[in-house]
Each structure stands twice: as C-alpha cells, then as structure tokens.
Structure 1
C-alpha cells in the first residue's frame, strides 16, 4: 500500500500555532503522529513524505523519532528538510525533489506527480495526472492556487483536456489527512 503525507514539522513548535494544530505541545503532537502512523502503516507499505518532516535534520531526537515510523519512507524534499546528516538520510529509501509514480485503486491505475511545492502546470495534467503537494498549509496561498486551477478549466486553457484537473494538498493539518498518512483512495474520497 502507498500512503502520502507532508508538512509534519516535527520539533517545530511554531507550527502548532501557525496551523492551529490540536495539540498542547510538541510532545503531544509527536506522540499522536507516531501513534496514528504506526497503527496504519505496516513495514511493507511505502509512505511518500512530500516534504518538511521537520525544521532541520541534524537532531538526535528527530533521528530517533523518524526511525520508529513504520514503512519504507520516501522523502520528496521540502524547503525545511536538511538531510546532510547521513544517519538521518539513511532513514529514507530515497530522497528527491520531484517524483512521478503510478498508484491504483480497485484495479484502476492513476499517474501521480509528487512535489513539495504546488505546481501550476505538471506533466499530463490534461490527461488526468494527479498532483499531490504540500508546503502551503492552510493558507490564502493554497486557496489561491486551487482557484487558479479551477479558473484554468473554466477559461478553456489550451493545454487543458477533457480530464478534470486534480491537485491535492496532503499537508498533515488538512482535514482529509488529519495527521496520518493517507492512501490515494482516502485522499480522493475525502478532499
């Protein structure tokens, strides 16, 4: 099973206030994220983390915390990810800035573009390719991005085909993510 999540911001106390996260402090946030993650993900599953695991990767506590998260972890690097510490980098099966993959739901295949940042135009977007991204949290910037995508379809842009434009923010603070990795089926159903 593949799962997706972004913007955990572990060890980033300001993220609790910034996102209005439902946690008293970092300890409660970390405990809840690890609990939800490990109750859902098995070691045979793949979790695509679309950036910003924490503020920085050179932290003994961060390495210990990330090490107990189950599954094969692939990091699509975000603006706050520092993987210069080899011990931390080795916790991920792969670290990259952008990735194209296929996932399936009930036998139907979906092409996905994975990036930490929202992209205004992505490969095969007019043929139904789905963009999963993070970075913008619950912000006017994210609302504006979604309005722009809707406007492209409404204004009959030349490179938009018959397929619906699909881009989903998989930030952990989004209600359809709710601080746990989600499958593509869950993301498409809930968002």
Structure 2
C-alpha cells in the first residue's frame, strides 16, 4: 500500500476550468482527465489524503459519482470549497480541518507530516522535523525545504507519493521563512 497526497481537484468547477482552458476544453474533459490520471497511479488498496477543494459548484450526485470512480481509501482535510455535499461523501474517516500524521515513504523511513488545505508559515512540529503539505495556492508559492503544495496544478493533475514530495522539498533552494530568518536551511 502506498500513500498519496493531492488537493484542489475542483471536480465540476466551471469557473476554474475556464482558467485552466489551455489544459482542458470543458468541465467534463477536466473531470475525466483527473479521474484517469488519479486511477493510473492510485491502486484500490492505496491511501489518498485529499487536502481540500475536492469539488466546487458540483451537484451532490456529481460529487458522489466522481468520488465512487476514484481508486483508494480516501481521507479529506477540508478546504474552503468543501461544503456538505463533499463532507458527507463516504470518506474513510470523518473529514478534518488539519492532521498530524506519520507515514512511511516506501523505503522504510517514517516522516512526520502536518497536513492542511492552507499553507502555513510555521506549523506544529516544525522544529522537530515535521514536514508540511498543503493545497489552496494552485502552485503559485515556491516550495521550501520543509513544505510544498500537493495540489493538482503543481503535479501535472495527479496525486503524488511521499518519496517524491520529500525529494522535491529536499531540492528546494528556499528554506521556510522561520529558518531563513535564523540563517538555517
């Protein structure tokens, strides 16, 4: 079993798809592409943490239909667009506002993570090596050596595994603000 992370799928979100017009011709094409890319990576026994904005503006029926087509056991960290039609989907556990978890990266190393829809300048466990994963920004904030955006816009519209996220953070040239101000990386 592999654990994946994603955010900002915005299934059924016509205004967002208009902004993504260069990538997707319609809401239907957007949703179909994201489902196909998700299922090409995530197996039925894998786990996915969705860090918010599963959908926006879609009907309950559309939310349920898309959710049912996605592989894996799914958990939600609530985003600003996640209303009852999303919160009431059959998530593996009840949706949360944020989460502190420990996950193995597939190579036997355990990583402490702070998950939130929103990027934080500092977070619980920051000085004890906890890494931060977030969404919301649609890939407009630079990665740091301890935090990055897991949203669809940042990862070619597909979920991403932990080892890949850690490698991207480790390669980031920018340190989190609190570390940089103290002259640390």
Q: TM class by shorter-chain length? A: 0.7 to 0.9
Deviation, 1:127, is: 2.2
1:1-191 matches, cutoff 5 A: 1-19=2-20, 22-56=23-57, 58-82=59-83, 84-85=84-85, 89-94=88-93, 95-105=95-105, 106-139=107-140, 142-143=141-142, 165-174=145-154, 177-190=155-168
Unaligned runs of 5+ in 2: 170-185
Deviation, 1:58, is: 4.4
**Partner SS, residue 44 of structure 1:** coil
**Partner SS, residue 160 of structure 2:** coil
Tell me which stretches of 4 or more aligned residues in structure 1 moved more than 3 Å. 17-21
Structure 1 length normalisation: TM-score? Answer: 0.79
CA distance in 2, matches of 1:111, 1:14: 35
Aligned alpha-carbon RMSD (Å)? 2.0
CA contact (8 A) 1:56 1:81 kept: no
Structure 2 length normalisation: TM-score? Answer: 0.81
CA distance in 2, matches of 1:116, 1:20: 24
Deviations 1:156-182 (A, max 9, x none): xxxxxxxxx5011111011xx211111
**Partner SS, residue 96 of structure 1:** coil
Distance 1:117 1:40, change over 3 A: same
Deviation, 1:57, is: 6.3
Deviation, 1:16, is: 2.3
Q: How many residue pairs align between the two structures?
A: 166
CA contact (8 A) 2:64 2:89 kept: no
Match of 2:177 in 1: none
